[in-house]
């Protein structure tokens, strides 16, 4: 009988302890994270406009955790696969301009955030053909020592 009471008391303390552990969260400076991510995307799009698609390398997280599902793909690609696609496509594009039509940033911690938005773009290829497009995109960003990086995500062409 004595062990039954000890068990019940231990169980109660564990429940109370777990409840308190869940309620204690680290405060996030959401406004700062949102501003930093918005600035990162502005720089990202500005660098692509100036330097082409290979400027994206500065904004992709070159780690084993990186993956991306680009438009018209049915599975996630690794960093190296995305890099190869960007290098190949960069040779076909003479000008590209991107900007967010809508962007919503969801801070998870001070160094991790998810986002969702619609990117509008205008591209001119080497044959001088102009293509306008919109892409819906969502993903996760991680803050590294050299700034915010795209860790993973997916994008899809919109009509």
Query: What is the helix (H) or strand (E) element at residue 51, kind and residue range?
Result: helix 30-51
Contact 123, 92 (CB under 8 A): no
pLDDT at residue 120 tops 80: yes
54 burial (CB, 10 Å; 0-12 / 13-18 / 19+) is middle
The length of the chain is: 159
Hey, CA dihedral for 57, 60, 63, 67, is it positive or negative?
Answer: negative
Mean pLDDT on 130-136: 97
Mean pLDDT on 54-79: 96
Residue 150's pLDDT band (boundaries 50, 70, 90)? very high
Other C-beta atoms lying within 10 Å of the C-beta of residue 112: 16
Least confident of 13-27, 72-86, 103-117, 145-159: 13-27
Residue 26's pLDDT band (boundaries 50, 70, 90)? confident
Hey, CA dihedral for 77, 80, 83, 87, is it positive or negative?
Answer: negative
User: Each residue of 49-59: pLDDT tens digit?
Assistant: 999 999 999 99
Other C-beta atoms lying within 10 Å of the C-beta of residue 9: 10
User: Each residue of 104-117: pLDDT tens digit?
Assistant: 999 999 999 999 99
| Residue 52, pLDDT score | 96
Contact 149, 126 (CB under 8 A): no
Write down the mean pLDDT value for the chain.
90
* Helix, coil or strand: residue 15: helix
């Amino acid at each position: 009988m004595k062990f039954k009471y000890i068990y019940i008391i231990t169980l109660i303390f564990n429940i109370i302890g777990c409840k308190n552990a869940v309620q204690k969260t680290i405060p996030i400076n959401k406004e700062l994270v949102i501003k930093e991510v918005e600035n990162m995307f502005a720089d990202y799009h500005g660098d692509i406009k100036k330097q082409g698609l290979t400027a994206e390398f500065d904004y992709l997280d070159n780690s084993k955790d990186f993956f991306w599902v680009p438009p018209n793909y049915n599975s996630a690609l690794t960093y190296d696969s995305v890099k190869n696609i960007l290098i190949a496509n960069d040779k076909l594009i003479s000008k590209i301009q991107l900007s967010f039509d809508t962007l919503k940033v969801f801070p998870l911690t001070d160094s991790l955030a998810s986002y969702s938005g619609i990117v509008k773009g205008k591209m001119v290829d080497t044959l001088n053909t102009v293509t306008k497009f919109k892409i819906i995109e969502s993903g996760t960003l991680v803050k590294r020592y050299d700034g915010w990086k795209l860790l993973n995500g997916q994008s899809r062409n919109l009509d």
